[in-house]
């Protein structure tokens, strides 16, 4: 996503938290809003858990790439206004340098989502569809499209098939526990084997995970090649070469793992939302690089009721 009026967030303080971990406070004013609750409860990531009794704070692990130590991160949005999403975001587990080098991008904090909303609404073909989209954007305001690790998104969205968020999180936790409390690499899945993955609760998806690992290790599927594709269809086709990966899973991996924000995943929830809000049909293509954000807002609004 791109646009004018971009403003990078600024670290306003750095300290050591009572836990002994580094912590930073980040000024999120003027970037179009950020909601911890919505961003981590809209189905794009499965390794963060709400802190007990807190809707505005989560804790989880972030995979940084193969062979790189994961970061255990607490994300505290209690200093953000619940309506505008503006204010101070506190991140415990990283210092200012790590935030600036990695996590400003991870949270996509340099993108002006307010401008994105204007672009989305201007692409709506009529007043009725514009009103429906406006309501969904209002409900979802504060969602950020996280820039996650491609391998992690591939594994977790393979596991998402015919599944629900609590169960996906449980299976992912078991996989991580079986691999030394870190997210499994392709080699780990090969070592566990299809039977071992089945025993960890992956069910019919175990064979899909084994195939994904094999194709990554053999080079049949290559993340650098996928990232380099200009045409969405080419990237989608390569991912769909993995057993069990169809258009919806491929779209999720491209959106959340490769930040292909022109992706628009459609599942049962989305079909229901689109049919109800846009009975005459809905075409995400005119939304361009903001299609993925519109999808997340529609998805969140449908689940939010």
- Identify whether the C-beta of residue 211 lies closer than 8 Å to the C-beta of residue 243: yes
- Identify whether the C-beta of residue 126 lies closer than 8 Å to the C-beta of residue 135: no
Beta-strand pair 71-80/57-62: antiparallel
Q: Using alpha carbons only, give the angle 20, 99, 148 rounded to the nearest 5 degrees.
A: 110
Catalytic residues: 248
Mapped onto helix, strand or coil, the DSSP state of residue 59 is strand
CA–chain centroid gap for 129, Å, is: 26
DSSP 134-176: HHHHHHHTT-------HHHHHHHHHHTTT--HHHHHHHHHHHH
Which residue from 7, 6, 13 is spatially nearest to 89, judged by alpha carbons? 13
d(CA 181, CA 155): 16
């Amino acid at each position: 996503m791109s646009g004018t009026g971009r403003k990078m967030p600024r670290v306003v303080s750095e300290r050591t938290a009572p836990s002994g971990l580094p912590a930073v406070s980040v000024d999120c004013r003027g970037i179009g809003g950020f909601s911890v609750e919505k961003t981590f409860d809209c189905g794009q990531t499965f390794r963060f858990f709400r802190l007990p009794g807190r809707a505005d704070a989560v804790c989880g692990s972030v995979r940084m790439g193969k062979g790189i130590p994961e970061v255990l991160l607490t994300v505290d949005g209690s200093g953000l206004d619940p309506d505008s999403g503006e204010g101070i975001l506190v991140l415990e587990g990283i210092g200012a340098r790590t935030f600036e080098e990695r996590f400003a991008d991870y949270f996509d904090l340099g993108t002006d989502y307010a401008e994105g909303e204007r672009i989305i609404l201007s692409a709506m073909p009529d007043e009725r569809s514009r009103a429906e989209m406006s309501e969904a954007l209002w409900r979802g305001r504060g969602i950020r499209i996280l820039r996650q690790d491609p391998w992690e998104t591939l594994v977790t969205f393979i596991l998402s098939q015919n599944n629900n968020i609590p169960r996906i999180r449980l299976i992912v936790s078991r996989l991580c526990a079986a691999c030394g409390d870190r997210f499994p690499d392709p080699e780990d899945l090969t070592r566990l084997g299809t039977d071992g993955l089945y025993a960890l609760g992956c069910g019919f998806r175990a064979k899909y995970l084994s195939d994904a690992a094999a194709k990554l290790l053999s080079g049949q599927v290559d993340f650098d090649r996928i990232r380099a594709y200009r045409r969405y269809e080419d990237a989608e086709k390569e991912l769909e070469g993995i057993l069990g990966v169809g258009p919806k899973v491929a779209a999720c991996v491209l959106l959340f793992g490769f930040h292909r924000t022109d992706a628009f995943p459609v599942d049962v929830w989305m079909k229901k939302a689109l049919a109800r809000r846009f009975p005459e049909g809905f075409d995400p293509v005119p939304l361009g690089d903001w299609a993925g954000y519109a999808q997340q807002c529609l998805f969140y609004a449908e689940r939010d009721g």
